[in-house]
Homo-oligomer: A and B are copies of this chain.
């Protein structure tokens, strides 16, 4: 048999307007009824829906319809009838190949439309609803699970709704988190990773990924400055777990007997970290049996950087009390201020007192890729371990966090339990490539591929350009608001990282003398503006109090799609929403 398929494609007159995703289907699935509805709804599935459903899908038009739908373009798409297809009809079902391909392509259509819209400034960052609204089944979006299967048509609607009510973390005006952006290469990498669906614990079932991890970690260690990139490491499920690893291996280095005998075999051990450091160091202290009381917080200067003299004083104080200092965390890029602790001065003290030096570069580690900014991490090569999250400053999709260790073998020493069913010594290949026994996890998700692929695609220079651009943008913001009426900076001077921390002072508070009343009022300003931002869906930025400082905005830039105009937009939006507070 021979079949000829013809696609009609009415292209928009505007330059740059691009086609929808068209695809092959069996002519037998074509239906005039469906086609009519599709045309009415600018290309989206509207068959077999109740009136209520129709209204709901119409509501999605702006989000999901083709790029040019509101102008003069029309795409006629024919559809597989998914209303009579179920998961059981897909592969490995007999004759499941075609429905499988059609279903996956339909999903890809939804996803690629979402990707396009993500970068479109005319779309909202989010369409906010309260938990109770979503739980009540807003516009027919039913989150409840049932005993009976739902049709693939419903599954596709669920996919659209899930995206519709979510938050576009890749939107150029999403500044809410240290992780933002939607890197296309990284995205492709994640799609491939899910398709490969394997596990990092052995070379046996993840040969390529295990080697990619090994080579990438070596490259990262080279950038840290450890000789020949020697050492060890793993990708872990996030910076908190990476930091936890650092504490575990420090303990193993100095008190290996704790592995078998427990903390009672060691003296009272204390850990040191900045009062501005990430809370995961305290979490690790609690989880690993040190106790949060034994996590000593170090004072910082006005910019949020550890004061080395305070570290030394607190070490001496602890020793005097009979405690044993074990571990110091230096933060390279603190969460709120973006501060870089002075690593060299801290390293001097660690050497003097024989302490483990960890550098938490979860947020700031990416600056090692920039010749212009890497000096902020000077001394990192003296660290015993480093946390570095490519999923933050480097724009790799979540999750992608590395724990890097200078001493080879210590991760395995600390964590190995030699499970016979996974790590057989009598395999035919070199089993030193099996990584599982170094981890506290058993199964371990493949986090490396997207990062490896991005590195291939951008080169080190591509990451460098991205980082330099983000820092430039944050300096643009800083310059714009530092002397602007209605703004107060939380700390003086050019930020070290992309964090710009500031108060917006509404006109009603500008003349008010400093004091409790003003503080209380100012404390409520950022949450109010943030709430209005989320309700209007135009942009998102974080806020928090810190120490004795009332709620302030923390602006961060890690999103490659952000431009100066987005920074301008943020400021305009804060002023628009906050003006009458």
Contact = CB atoms under 8 A, between A and B. Distances in A.
Interface string A262-303: 111100100000000011101101111111111000000000
A335 B251 CA distance: 30
A40 B305 CA distance: 63
Contacts of A415: 283, 286-287
A188 interface: yes
B293 A262 contact: yes
A310 interface: no
Contact of A92 (B291, B414, B446, B561): B561
Contact of A457 (B86, B444, B543): B86
A318 interface: no
Interface in A82-106: 86-88, 90-92, 95-98, 100-101, 103-105
A331 interface: no
Nearest to A24: B22
B445 A147 contact: no
Residue of A10, A291, A531 with highest tally of chain B CB at under 10 A:
A291
Given A24-B7, A289-B290, A440-B283, A544 B424 contact: yes
Given A143-B215, A167-B207, A419-B279, A399 B445 contact: yes
Interface stretch (A57-65, A170-178, A345-353, A373-381): A170-178
A412 interface: no
Interface residues of A, number: 192
Copies in the complex: 2
A187 interface: yes
A73 to B, nearest CB: 11
Contacts of A443: 179, 238-240, 391, 398-399, 401
B131 A260 contact: no
Given A262-B293, A289-B289, A399-B443, A205 B184 contact: no
A420 B544 contact: yes
B198 A398 contact: yes
A260 B440 contact: no
A537 to B, nearest CB: 12
B104 A561 contact: no
Interface in A1-20: 1-11, 13, 16, 18-19
B206 A527 contact: no
Interface string A194-230: 1111110001111111111001100100000000000
Given A135-B211, A259-B292, A280 B24 contact: no
Interface stretch (A30-38, A111-119, A474-482, A483-491): A111-119
A508 interface: no
A233 interface: no
Contacts of A531: 427-428
A291 B261 CA distance: 4
B184 A87 contact: yes
A527 B426 contact: yes
Given A149-B459, A176-B205, A237-B445, 7 more contacts: A2-B11, A96-B119, A149-B462, A205-B540, A240-B443, A261-B291, A279-B417
In the A-B complex, the 8 residue pairs with the closest CB atoms: A289-B289, A262-B291, A190-B194, A92-B561, A428-B531, A263-B263, A237-B237, A263-B289
25 contacts: A2-B11, A5-B7, A18-B97, A67-B97, A97-B119, A104-B187, A115-B195, A130-B430, A143-B452, A145-B215, A145-B452, A149-B456, A179-B197, A187-B195, A238-B442, A239-B442, A240-B441, A240-B442, A261-B294, A263-B264, A287-B287, A292-B417, A336-B421, A422-B544, A426-B551
